[in-house]
């Protein structure tokens, strides 16, 4: 043991590189004037169709002897203005299978945000998950662990609320921060089939303090009580949007999650509540607020594969097609072919960000998805979204609105994905 310690001390740091390319094509097929206004500010100017590199991401992960680790993850989807994703250092192999990370990392609210974008069933995340945990990552310190049987996973930590993904810096004399925790379990997990059957549950919550003074006082803090999300697709603007809630002193969140997998079929749902306390300010009446939302989806592999569960992190893992998609000339003549895997899915989303004099939008979306897995590392996602939003528009203005705006919309999107 002493010898192995000495060996470890001599060892050098190590790293591995991973990356992903996600290329998107979004077509806004239909949109009511109110929706046009939410997107462009002009009822007669509809959302533009687009091709986006959604993610061009490089990740360097490594270890430092004896039991430290680090990650630097950068996204160059907009090369002239890169973003940081996970950037942290920490300790692993702590007692009770625990890891402690310090730096930019995901806040533990909502299953779908903790899943990697490489593995999620739908192209964009659910309304409620994105609204109540926008962009997920914040600067903080967080502990991750699981029990020896791997049936229970926990993570809890403290996070600053300002999103520093583009500038890497938090400024302000007021520490807008929150305590976050998530407990999840997989009481049923069919070891014999390699995990083709399981039930996962999760419970998460947060308590946050925000700077009620906002931009009124001298410090640089802006009020971080703001909940917003795009319409299950990559629009320019966030159609559901409470704007920065003037006078907000704090908020609390509570999330429930359930994921049932029976072979090729998965049924997953989440529900998140958020309560905001505020004082009267800027013409707003100051009454407390309650926002809420959730989703339910079913997915099914026509080709028989399944979505694996990573029990030690309480998230889904990489799908492995039975057969890759390929067309190659054989050395001894003829053409070899494989067809990949095919998955269909249907999701219903609901989100209510309108309460009292805040018109953040209330509405729903239905997403039909078709995923064609070329390999375990590449696929096409096709999503068709129809939805409706009403009583929205707060994101366009800083004062109470006389009336909300809204309307119907339908969107068709494709994503070409590879990762390594």
Residues 366-405 that bind its own copies (CB under 8 A): 374-375, 377-378
* Residue 194 touches its own copies, criterion: CB under 8 A: no
| DSSP-derived secondary structure letter, 284 | B
* Residue 5 touches its own copies, criterion: CB under 8 A: yes
70-84 burial code (b ≥16 CB/10 A, e <16): bbbbbbbbeeeeebb
Q: Where is 129: in which H helix or E strand?
A: helix 127-132
Who's near 387: CB < 8 A, 6+ residues apart? 231, 232, 349, 363, 364, 365, 366, 408, 409, 410
CA 362 to chain centre: 20
Phi, psi of 131 (to 5 degrees): -65, -40
Distance CA 298, CA 282 (A): 44
* Residue 193 touches its own copies, criterion: CB under 8 A: no
Asked if 383 and 124 count as a contact pair (C-beta separation under 8 A), the reply is yes
Distance CA 370, CA 345 (A): 6
Q: How far is the CB of 261 from its own copies (least distance, A)?
A: 23
* Residue 216 touches its own copies, criterion: CB under 8 A: no
Q: Residues 78, 116, 215, 288: which binds its own copies (CB under 8 A)?
A: 78
Distance CA 134, CA 163 (A): 9
In whole angstroms, how large is the CA radius of gyration of the chain?
A: 22
Q: How far is the CB of 55 from its own copies (least distance, A)?
A: 10
* Residue 116 touches its own copies, criterion: CB under 8 A: no
Question: 80 vs 149, which CB is nearer to its own copies?
Answer: 80
Site for its own copies in 82-111 (CB under 8 A): 82-84, 87-89, 91, 93-96, 102-104
Q: How far is the CB of 373 from its own copies (least distance, A)?
A: 12
Site for its own copies in 326-345 (CB under 8 A): 326-332, 335-336, 338
Q: How far is the CB of 143 from its own copies (least distance, A)?
A: 13
Q: Residues 29, 32, 33, 68: which binds its own copies (CB under 8 A)?
A: 68
Q: Residues 194, 218, 333, 403: which binds its own copies (CB under 8 A)?
A: 218
Q: How far is the CB of 405 from its own copies (least distance, A)?
A: 19
Q: How far is the CB of 46 from its own copies (least distance, A)?
A: 8
Question: 171 vs 290, which CB is nearer to its own copies?
Answer: 171
| DSSP-derived secondary structure letter, 8 | H
Q: Could you tell me how many residues make up the chain?
A: 420
Other C-beta atoms lying within 10 Å of the C-beta of residue 349 = 25
Site for its own copies in 220-239 (CB under 8 A): 220
Question: 79 vs 194, which CB is nearer to its own copies?
Answer: 79
Distance CA 288, CA 286 (A): 6
Asked if 239 and 211 count as a contact pair (C-beta separation under 8 A), the reply is no
Site for its own copies in 20-59 (CB under 8 A): 21, 23, 44-46, 48-53, 56, 58
* Residue 1 touches its own copies, criterion: CB under 8 A: yes
* Residue 279 touches its own copies, criterion: CB under 8 A: no
């Amino acid at each position: 043991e002493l010898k192995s310690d000495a060996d470890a001390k001599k060892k050098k740091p190590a790293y591995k590189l991973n990356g992903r390319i996600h290329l998107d094509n979004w077509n806004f097929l239909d949109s009511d004037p109110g929706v046009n206004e939410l997107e462009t500010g002009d009822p007669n100017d509809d959302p533009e169709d687009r091709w986006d590199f959604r993610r061009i991401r490089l990740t360097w992960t490594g270890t430092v002897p004896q039991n430290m680790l680090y990650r630097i993850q950068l996204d160059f989807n907009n090369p002239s203005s890169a973003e940081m994703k996970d950037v942290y250092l920490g300790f692993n192999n702590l007692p009770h299978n625990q890891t402690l990370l310090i730096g930019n990392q995901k806040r533990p609210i909502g299953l779908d945000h903790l899943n990697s974008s490489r593995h999620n069933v739908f192209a964009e995340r659910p309304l409620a998950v994105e609204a109540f945990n926008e962009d997920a990552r914040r600067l903080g310190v967080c502990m991750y662990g699981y029990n020896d049987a791997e049936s229970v996973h926990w993570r809890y930590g403290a996070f600053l609320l300002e999103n520093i993904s583009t500038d890497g810096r938090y400024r302000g004399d007021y520490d807008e921060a929150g305590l976050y925790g998530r407990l999840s379990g997989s009481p049923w997990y069919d070891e014999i089939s390699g995990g083709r059957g399981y039930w996962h549950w999760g419970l998460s919550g947060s308590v946050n303090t925000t700077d009620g003074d906002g931009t009124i006082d001298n410090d640089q803090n802006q009020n971080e009580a703001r909940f917003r999300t795009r319409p299950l697709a990559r629009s320019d603007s966030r159609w559901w949007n409470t704007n920065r809630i003037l006078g907000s002193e704090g908020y609390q969140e509570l999330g429930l999650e359930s994921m049932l997998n029976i072979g090729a079929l998965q049924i997953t749902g989440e529900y998140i509540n958020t309560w905001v306390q505020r004082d009267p300010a800027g013409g707003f009446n100051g009454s407390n607020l309650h926002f809420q939302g959730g989703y339910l989806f079913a997915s099914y592999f026509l080709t028989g594969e399944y979505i694996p569960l990573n029990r030690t992190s309480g998230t889904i893992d990489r799908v492995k097609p039975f057969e890759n998609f390929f067309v190659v000339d054989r050395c001894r003549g003829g053409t070899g072919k494989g067809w990949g895997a095919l998955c269909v899915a249907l999701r219903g989303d609901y989100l209510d960000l309108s309460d009292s004099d805040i018109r953040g939008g209330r509405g729903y979306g239905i997403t039909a998805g078709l995923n064609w897995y070329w390999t375990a590392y590449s696929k096409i996602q096709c999503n068709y979204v129809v939805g409706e939003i009403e009583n929205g528009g707060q994101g366009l203005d800083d004062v109470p609105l006389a009336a909300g705006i809204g309307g119907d919309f339908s969107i068709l999107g494709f994503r070409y994905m590879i990762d390594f």
